[in-house]
Amino acid sequence: MINVQPSNFIEELVLNDIETKGLKEIITRFPPEPNGYLHIGHSKAITVDFNVAKKFNGRCNLRFDDTNPVKEDVEYVESIKEDIRWLGFQWDELRYASDYFDRLFEIAVDFIKKDLAYVCDLSAEEIKEYRGTLNKPGKNSPYRDRTIEENLDLFYKMKEGAFPDGSKVLRAKIDMASPNINMRDPIMYRILRATHHRTGDKWCVYPMYDYAHPMSDAIEGITHSICTLEFEDHRPLYEWFVNHTDFEIKPRQIEFARLQLTRTIMSKRYLKKLVDNKSVSGWDDPRMPTLSGLRRRGVTKEAIADFCERIGVAKSNSTVDAGLLEYCIREDLNKRATRAMVVLDPVKVVLTNFDAEEYLELENNPQDASAGTHKIPFCNEIYIEREDFKIDADKKFFRLKPEGYVRLKGAYIIKCETYEIDEQGNVQVIYCSVVKNSKSGHDVSGIKTKAVIHWVPVKYAVDVQVRNYDYLLIDGDEDKDFSERMNPNSLKIIDNAKAEPFILQSKPQDKYQFLRLGYFNTDYLSSRDKLIFNSIVSLKDSKGK
Ligand code: ATP
Ligand code: MG
């Protein structure tokens, strides 16, 4: 008996296998195809694969499932490694399915020798036609009864390049009448002259996923091959391949539900399209649900871990509200983001009775006393948000209005005396007086205010660029094709936002809460000369409003 509390059905199955099959070590793998960058859905699979291994003191390999040379690239291999490390996981061994090409070929030869595989000359269309449908059994290929000798000869010749692409395939000899279409003599090998990112032009035959995957698992000694539900129907085939080989460890396939998130594209193929047609700036565009995009946006790995924990692991598909991910991001950033004041749409306020200059103190994070404070200069001209001043304000408007009072964060209460507007009616400047004895923390003025607004001193204001991001997809219509749901307003750039001088210290990836505005991340491209901030998430759930 081992002393482990399973926390989901996968861990229960694994525990049961340990107890009934006497497995000595648990080995799992995360098997991405290097045909794109990882997205938030992959983080669920990564978390499951690595955590199951960890829980049972086992190992987890990273294996690149690189059996399709046409779509794969080293750029993707590198990004996948970086993303997994960023999430905080470390693989035990780094493997490539392409490392096994020789071995996979030999095993296929064994299948032929056992009369369990044959070379078939039907065209792709004919194979499809012969396969039948869900209601109609398939029929045997006329090439199914080739002798073992003939099959061996043809298979070697396929490898040597004797036949054109697509002219022959190697098929498993199973059952053309099986109710499971995957069992109707699936293809094991195809002829394809394509340069592979690791093996170059060595091969002109490549194994198919359904064959390569179980065999790669078996070669590596994987005990539990965890994958997503769309492979459930492939499990009998997985077992067929595994059970017709002599590997000591017979890996077991376990499926769980894919992560689906509202308003989120979860397909590498489609994400690649957005990159290729320049709808986004790249795989790491902060709007992308890729791990590199989320990282650049400012989402932390702790928020992703919390999210993966909360969604759990289930056996049936469901769609998670993107609001849950936002919630996890907000919870985490609240604990770690530095508070700062930034005005996005500035209007100038002149403080008519104040001509001193003084330094005030602002808490870096009220949630964390150890974060300390920073200084902000206060002088007779400040910027406030244009929308924090209203001329024809009703009683419910508690911010600045003519004759009204409002508190400036960390500073004083001010009273609006007068203002100037231009010909279009836009406010040009507001004149206020500072209320005596109203300094924050020492307020004995007796004046009550119902709102606190943020501000930035004009003299010391720093120009920053703020990039406000929204979802790539518009809300609703989850069933519609992505292309019909693109959000035309997913990026708004604000070029001359005004920030307090403290912001000059920021380095790429530093995270802030801009008071009253939301959470922001310092972009990779940000520098002292051009400060750039990416919006991460709002302060509150906007859906609740
Ligand atoms: P995509 O359809 O986005 O290209 P994929 O399944 O083809 O995804 P792979 O590189 O084959 O991507 O995935 C590696 C592993 O990640 C697989 O085990 C796969 O099941 C898992 N995975 C992919 N997408 C999700 C998801 N949305 N939720 C959970 N696991 C996922
Ligand atoms: Mg795939």
| Interstrand relation of 342-343 and 491-499 (parallel, antiparallel or unpaired) | antiparallel
Q: What is the pLDDT of residue 326?
A: 98
pTM: 0.94
Mean pLDDT of the chain: 96
Show the beta-strand stretches assigned E in 299-455. 319-320, 338-340, 342-343, 346-351, 358-363, 373-378, 381-385, 405-408, 413-421, 427-434, 452-453
With a cut of 70, say whether residue 420 has pLDDT above it.
Answer: yes
* CA 71, chain centre distance (Å): 20
Across the range 107-120, mean pLDDT stands at 98
| Residue list, ligand 1 pocket, CB within 6 Å | 31-33, 41-42, 44-45, 227-228, 258-259, 266-269
- Identify the CA nearest to 503 among candidates 274, 345, 340: 340
SS (H, E, C) 150-178: HHHHHHHHHHHCCCCCCCCEEEECCCCCC
Return the ligand 1 atom nearest residue 33 CA.
10
pLDDT band at 543; cut points 50, 70, 90: low
Q: Tell me what percent of the residues of the chain surpass a pLDDT of 90.
A: 95
Q: What is the pLDDT of residue 477?
A: 84
3-state secondary structure of 408: strand
Return the ligand 1 atom nearest residue 44 CA.
29
Distance from Cα 430 to the centre of ligand 2, integer Å: 59
Distance from Cα 96 to the centre of ligand 2, integer Å: 15
Structure tokens at 99: 């490392």
Nearest CA to ligand 1 atom 14: 32
With a cut of 50, say whether residue 545 has pLDDT above it.
Answer: no
Structure tokens at 199: 């093996």
pLDDT in tens, 480-536: 888 899 999 999 999 999 999 999 999 999 999 999 999 999 999 999 999 999 999
Q: What is the pLDDT of residue 544?
A: 47
Return the ligand 1 atom nearest residue 230 CA.
20
Say how far apart CA 343 and CA 348 lie, in whole Å.
11
- Identify the CA nearest to 254 among candidates 270, 274, 280, 231: 231
The ligand that comes nearest to the alpha carbon of residue 28 is: 1
Across the range 240-246, mean pLDDT stands at 97
Distance from Cα 182 to the centre of ligand 1, integer Å: 20
Q: What is the pLDDT of residue 72?
A: 86
The ligand that comes nearest to the alpha carbon of residue 258 is: 1
Q: Tell me what percent of the residues of the chain surpass a pLDDT of 70.
A: 99
pLDDT band at 479; cut points 50, 70, 90: confident
With a cut of 50, say whether residue 288 has pLDDT above it.
Answer: yes
Distance from Cα 266 to the centre of ligand 2, integer Å: 12
The ligand that comes nearest to the alpha carbon of residue 308 is: 1
Best residue among 10, 42, 283 to mutate for probing ligand 1, ranked by most atoms within 8 Å of CB: 42
The catalytic site residues sit at 33, 258, 268
pLDDT band at 426; cut points 50, 70, 90: very high
Distance from Cα 130 to the centre of ligand 2, integer Å: 26
pLDDT in tens, 191-233: 999 999 999 999 999 999 999 999 999 999 999 999 999 999 9
pLDDT in tens, 427-446: 999 999 999 999 999 999 99
Specify whether the CB–CB gap between 159 and 168 falls below 8 A. Answer: no
Q: What is the pLDDT of residue 478?
A: 84
Nearest CA to ligand 1 atom 13: 32
The dihedral through the CA atoms of 158, 160, 166, 167 has a sign that is negative
Distance from Cα 456 to the centre of ligand 1, integer Å: 46
Across the range 381-402, mean pLDDT stands at 97
Nearest CA to ligand 1 atom 27: 41
Nearest CA to ligand 1 atom 29: 258
With a cut of 70, say whether residue 157 has pLDDT above it.
Answer: yes
With a cut of 80, say whether residue 71 has pLDDT above it.
Answer: yes
Which residues keep their CB under 5 angstroms from ion ligand 2? 33
Return the ligand 1 atom nearest residue 228 CA.
20
pLDDT band at 1; cut points 50, 70, 90: low
